Structure 1
Amino acid sequence: MAAEPRTVRDMRALARTIGELRGVPDEVVDDLLSVVSECVSNAVVHSGSPDVALKLVFGTQSLSVVVRDTGHWVKPKPPGEVAESGRGTRLCRRLPCVLAAGRHHPARGGTVAWAQLTTIPPQDT
């Protein structure tokens, strides 16, 4: 899809629909939408890429989210104390259903942001 601000909304809606069709629990879908929003937003805002792609891969007890762009990542400045952005990736790693998350830059260019989520919501204690 085109790397435009509305693409964040569209990919989030797509992820919600797919998650619900696959029977993913609501708590996991909530975390999935946060991850998709963050990864796609970063591609739209920071990559300069003309397009962005979303891939969801379902395992028996996990879900992988992969967002790829073809741009050149511009590392954002560290967030200041009152900054309104710059914390999303770190916050995503702390979501209850997120097992791991990261970003890498393939030799062929672009950026791949990924996250691994459990499809079994954590139990309340």
Structure 2
Amino acid sequence: MEQYTVEQVADLLGLHVKTVRNYVRDGRLPAVRIGRQYRIAREDLAAFTGLPAVAAARPRHAEVSAIVQIDGLGRRDLDRVSTMVMGSLSGRPNGVRVQFVYDEEREHLKIVVLGGLEESAQVLRIIDALVRD
């Protein structure tokens, strides 16, 4: 059985946390007290809102965190890779964040990619193509 905290219910319904707590205390929204916090069952939230239980759940969200490590990359190649990757991201919202960390002495590059699955996969394909050249 999936349960929500008062804060999660407030976020889902766009209400203030105190409003949700008042609903619970007044008995309008059934909840179970665990320690000092209330837990609201998904079914009870659905009955309270009049929506199906499935609609009360948050949509799934998946995100990628990837670190690409490239050794033996000179300064000139670093500039080419970073310019091409950042250029592929510019001009449109894509939900991907990319950071470059370069150790010039060891010619060692780490690229940190954070974002949605498909968008991150596209960035990784671009990096793969640039490194193969």
Structure with bigger RCO (C-alpha 8 Å, 6+ apart): 1
* Bigger Cα Rg: 2
TM over 0.5: no
Please give the TM-score of this superposition, normalised by the length of structure 1.
Answer: 0.30
